[in-house]
Structure 1
Amino acid sequence: MRKWLAEHSFLIVVMVSLLLPIVFMIVQSQGRNTNPTLARRLSVGVASTAQQGMNSVFGGFRSFFSNYIFLVNTNKENQRLVEENERLVGEVVVAKNLAVENAELRTLLGLGEARRDMDMAAGVVISRELTPFYRVARIVVKLDGDAELKKDQAVMAHLGLVGRVVAAANKTGDVMLLTDGRSRVAAEVLGRGILGMLIGAGRQDESMARLQVGVNEPLLENGAVVTTSGHDQVFPRGVEIGYITNAEKSLQAGPFREYDVSLSVNPGSLSHVMVVTEIKKDISPAR
């Protein structure tokens, strides 16, 4: 019994506060004296005070629940707006990626029309291998359409040469980039008639190559454009490779002089490439 009283003490006090003034008023109303007595006035005052207190309590509860429901609805609306914003941001990113890919594909198609001296097939970059310095060391491409990849096929982008296929299986193959220490490309300096060999620097921390020319050739200046010469029978002639940089730091290595070459194509930015499936030696590229 005591436990029950202790648990419900607040409710008991409230009920007594409400009922006691009513009892007093009933008792007083049965009396003959029509003048309000002190007890009656006291009971009315207590009842009025209790009623005001209860109104305040229940009004506070009603206001609390109204505010709670409002906050719940506001939170739900905020969550809906956040989800809608995330969806719209995702759609914008997808649209931007599609726009970049479409522009790249249009440029590659233009490259195919400009180079009538070779047959090319479009491919997509499906994998990249990174160095510990987050440089792209190797890419894997997959051809679209009916063409098949073969070893030693040249790989190009709209900005220039990328590398060559070193391993292939049906439509998928590994591409050795120009930065690879094993890479060799017969090259020439555009407009200078200087022939040489482009050698991959093989460095993991930078995307560079070196142009090796005869030591008796005229000195080259920064910005001189390096292209393929076609003498290796692997890469078609006239494909841009890069340009000479740090010419003042060129080094002599025996009968050769070596220049640093900054490459035109950043393999980290590639999503689509063109693979040279055949070189037509009797046709000049369209201009």
Structure 2
Amino acid sequence: MRSTFLWRNRVLLTSGVLLILSLHLISTGVHPGDLAARPESAFLEVISPVTGAFTHLSDGASSITRDYVDLVHVRDENARLRIELARVKSDQARLAELEVENRHLGELLELKDALGTNALAANVIGSDANGISRTLILASGSDNGLRPGMAVLANQGVVGKIIAVSPNASRVLLINDHNSALDGFDQRTRARGIVAGLVDDGVILKYADRSQDIRTGDTIVTSGLDGIFPRGLLVGTIANVRRDGAGLFLGVKIAPAVDFRQLEQVLILTQPPPHLDDQAKD
């Protein structure tokens, strides 16, 4: 009958024994050498490598994340620095260009003061594209007081004359165009002729008499007799004198003082030059 009682109450009795054992372990503690500590030690032994590996992977992932974030920041900073460097270079180029333009304009103003006449500076914004006509386009026109027939100069010498205007632009016929002509003379010998352009490029001094003493290297200047250019403006120098062949005149080639392809600003004389009689009176 006793065994029957124990069997019927086996669950309750087992639970009671386990509860008493648990209370005993809690009250007395578990020592490293106790049997109760052995399962926990075995469990720790099993999970320790797994925990270490997980910790290593976690640290590695954190390191990779930090490195990636740092690389992104470095890339963004490099991009910002490249943009800033490009802006600085652009500003430097603009400042350098402004300095060049100011220097050119200052030289033109000095030329204006030396001539003692009314004049206007203008920017060159284009040139004729074909190989026959040689002209320039200026960013100033009738609204600025310009009109056809006005003389156009550069710091180096004579450029040409205005042949057409619109309210905000003008066309300049260069002295090396085959339709151009101005009165000039040899500054050394006073031999006169007509400075004209050639169809196949170049500038010559037409109608220079064979009896005249004209030599390579002589300076050609404006005479003032054409009513467009003041007297004494530099046209160019004699590059070649050809005396052979028939005819009354020399073959005189002129090297223009101005490089027309390099022009950026020019000076337009807005009033006609004084008459030679007036100059003589002065």
Regarding TM over 0.5, the answer is yes
The one-letter amino acid paired with 1:73 is: H
The answer on whether the counterparts of 2:242 and 2:251 sit within 8 Å (CA) in structure 1 is no
For residue 195 of structure 1, the aligned residue among 184, 189, 192 is 192
Aligned residues: 245
The structure 2 residue matched to 1:244, chosen from 231, 238, 246, is 238
Aligned to 2:35: 33
Higher relative contact order (CA 8 A, sep 6+): 1
Mapped contact 2:123–2:264 kept (Cα < 8 A): yes
Name the stretch that deviates more: 254-263 or 176-185.
254-263
Does the C-alpha gap of structure 1 residues 44 and 199 become closer, same or farther in structure 2, counting only changes over 3 Å?
same
Aligned residue identity for 1:165 = I
Cα deviation, residue 237, structure 1: 1.5
Cα distance per residue 1:111-132 (max 9 Å; x no partner): 111112x432222223333457
1:261: which partner in 2?
A: 254
**What does residue range 35-50 of structure 1 map to in structure 2 within 5 Å?**
36=38, 41=42, 43-50=43-50
Q: Distance in 1 between matches of 2:106 and 2:142?
A: 17
Partner of 1:76: 76
Could you list the per-position Cα deviations for residues 151-210 of structure 1 after superposition, in whole angstroms to 9, with x for gaps in the alignment?
A: 12110111111111111234531001122121112111112211112121334xx6x312
Alignment of 1:193-232 (within 5 A): 193-203=190-200, 208-212=202-206, 213-221=208-216, 223-232=217-226
| Cα distance in 1 for residues equivalent to 2:103 and 2:194 | 33
Distance in structure 2 (CA, Å) of the matches to 1:84 and 1:196: 59
Q: Deviations over 1:202-249 (max 9, x none)?
A: 34xx6x31223222222412x22111122222222211111122x266
1:127 aligns with 2:126: yes
Match of 1:89 in 2: 89
Matches of 2:54 and 2:99, distance apart in 1: 67
5+ residue gaps, structure 2, are 1-33
- Other structure's SS at 1:84 match: helix
What is the CA–CA distance in structure 1 between the aligned matches of 2:244 and 2:70, rounded to whole Å?
Answer: 76
The Cα RMSD (Å) is 3.0
Which protein is bigger by CA-based radius of gyration? 2
Structure 1's unaligned 5+ residue stretches are 1-31
> Distance in 1 between the 2:151 and 2:199 partners?
19
Question: Going by fraction, where is strand more abundant, 1 or 2?
Answer: 1
Q: Which residue type is aligned with residue 260 of structure 1?
A: K
